[in-house]
Structure 1
Amino acid sequence: MERILYIGTKNVSSWAFRAWLPLRELGIEFKEQVVDIRKPQRFDNLRRIGEISPAASVPVLVENQSIIFDSLAIMEYANDIGGGNLLPSDPLLRARARSFLSWQHAGLSGLCPRLSFESAFYPDKRQMTQEEQIDAERLFRCWEQELSLSGGPYLCGDLSLADLALVPTVIRIYSHRPQMRSWPLTHQWIKRLLARESVEEWMSEARNLPPIILDNYR
């Protein structure tokens, strides 16, 4: 069986990062194919991806003749074939995990739109704006409540797809050194996530790439 995951450049492709993480965490074998999505080659490369994927974007998981072309679908498929341990067995808790998954997949209601994943790798980071700080605190408050409710160490107790889906968002916010004193459970959760071997593997490669400075980062 051949299983290929097409991902984007690792200091850009947060959507692919989300799909890649559960595959790694569950020890599922796959071949990684990096598609350079930096400009100007981005458009030609994604056009080629469009030859195998209706969405013409990454990530794409190709397994034999089957194409899975959505990051959330790839995450859930990885969980299905990897034993199902990345979603809670309790129906209510599983629904809460899926709520976080869906919220992240929908863009977290547009929170922090200018704190891109790319900005986590900038050598000189600006301070967060007041609006971004308010947005981050809204997230911290939500995560703190969930961690208190579940008892930790992750959002639903054990590590789940909900935690993994939020990793790129955590990275882009935490790299800008937000004030964490009021959110001790969230702070420990963030550090625990960033210390995972799978996360560090991706990030170590991403840090070695030239940063991609976006025009709207100011």
Structure 2
Amino acid sequence: MEKPLLIIGNRNYSSWSLRAWLLLKAFNVDFDEQLVELFHPSARPTLETHSPTGKVPILVYGEKDNKVTVWDTLAIAMHVNEYFTDIDIWTGTDKPNTETRNNNQSRINSAYCQSIVAEMHSGLTGIRNEMPMNIRATAKIQPSSACLADITRIEDIFDDCLKGRSADSFLFGDFTAADVFFAPVVLRLQTYADASNIALQPMTKQYCQTMLNHPHIQAWQQSALTETRIIEEDEAGEIMSIAGVLANNHSF
């Protein structure tokens, strides 16, 4: 299979890009990447060439009549699972392991994983709108009831998945697409929860720390902290502190 190209946006802000990038990294897909600046004219030629929606992320490979383009994060996940990895992204287990795949518990976990990934992909708009991903910032907001309801729902998901598992477990034990799709939530909570006096359940804090310890999450965050562009559309709340290269150049 030809090496694909993943086109992503600014690491500090682009939660959708993080999902696609983390998915490919976590499931051992060899790929090239190209970063374009969100909401900037310089991105237009690349987006017009590859994306019918003008949005990132985009996964492309092949030439001319054989070119394959996938332009939605959930579609990228399904395409990668079909063509690029020997690990089933819904269970985190090896595909050749037919005994595991035919196990009823595996089917239950796969169905649950697919359901919460779809729920995250299509809903939970309160937390999305009020807590945009902003990795370098610590910020205080006044969350609405819709945002708090989303956090409660997310905590219920985490609790249901993690109960009875080890303290450093991912949502289904092995790393799956569910961890990929909830990764930006973890980074959102890191930015806003403590500064906004949003009390999180111990299980949520435990899972967030497990994700923040993941080497690919740490690599993405370190790259985000080297970025200098500020996108006002993705800045929210009262900025309490800034990390990274902008730390000494920001007035509060």
Question: In 2, are the aligned partners of 1:50 and 1:57 still within 8 Å (CA)?
Answer: no
Conservation of the 8 A alpha-carbon contact between 1:154 and 1:163:
yes
1:151 is matched with which residue?
Answer: 165
Question: Which residue of the partner structure matches residue 195 of structure 1?
Answer: 213
CA distance in 2, matches of 1:196, 1:8: 21
Aligned ranges for residues 1-218 of structure 1 at < 5 Å?
1-37=2-38, 39=39, 41=40, 43=41, 45-46=43-44, 48-64=46-62, 65-80=67-82, 81-88=84-91, 89=101, 90-118=106-134, 120-122=135-137, 125-129=139-143, 131=145, 132-148=147-163, 151=165, 153-176=169-192, 177=194, 178-180=198-200, 183-210=201-228, 211-214=230-233, 217-218=236-237
Q: Deviations over 1:40-71 (max 9, x none)?
A: x2x55245412222222111111111111111
Is the Cα contact below 8 Å between 1:22 and 1:79 reproduced in 2? no
CA contact (8 A) 2:8 2:57 kept: yes
Task: Determine the C-alpha separation between the residues in 1 that align with 2:46 and 2:29.
Answer: 26
Q: How far is the alpha carbon of 1:133 from its aligned partner?
A: 3.9
Larger radius of gyration: 2
**Structure-1-length-normalised TM-score:** 0.85
Amino acid at match of 1:179: A
CA positional deviation for 1:193: 0.9
2:14 and 2:4 map into 1 onto residues whose CA distance is: 20
Residue identity matched to 1:187: K
- The CA distance in 1 between the partners of 2:34 and 2:128, in whole Å, is 29
Separation of aligned partners in 2, 1:170 and 1:71: 18
Distance in structure 2 (CA, Å) of the matches to 1:112 and 1:74:
20
Q: Distance in 2 between matches of 1:175 and 1:215?
A: 13
Distance in 2 (CA, whole Å) between partners of 1:7 and 1:206 is 12
| One-letter identity of the residue aligned with 1:106 | S
Residue type of the alignment partner of 2:76: I
In structure 2, the gaps of 5 or more residues are: 92-100, 238-252
Asked whether the 8 Å contact 1:103–1:109 carries over to 2, the reply is no
Percentage identity across paired residues of the two chains: 25
User: SS of the residue aligned with 2:139?
Assistant: coil
Aligned residues: 210
Shift of 1:196: 0.6
Deviations 1:16-61 (A, max 9, x none): 1101111111221111100111x4x2x5524541222222211111
Higher relative contact order (Cα pairs below 8 Å, separated by 6+ residues): 1
Tell me how far 1:208 sits from its aligned partner. Answer: 1.8
Corresponding residue SS for 1:175:
helix
TM-score, with length taken from structure 2: 0.75
Distance in 2, matches of 1:128 and 1:110, equals: 12
For 1:206 and 1:162, how far apart are their aligned partners in 2?
22
Task: Return the alpha-carbon distance in structure 2 between the equivalents of residues 157 and 20 of structure 1.
Answer: 21
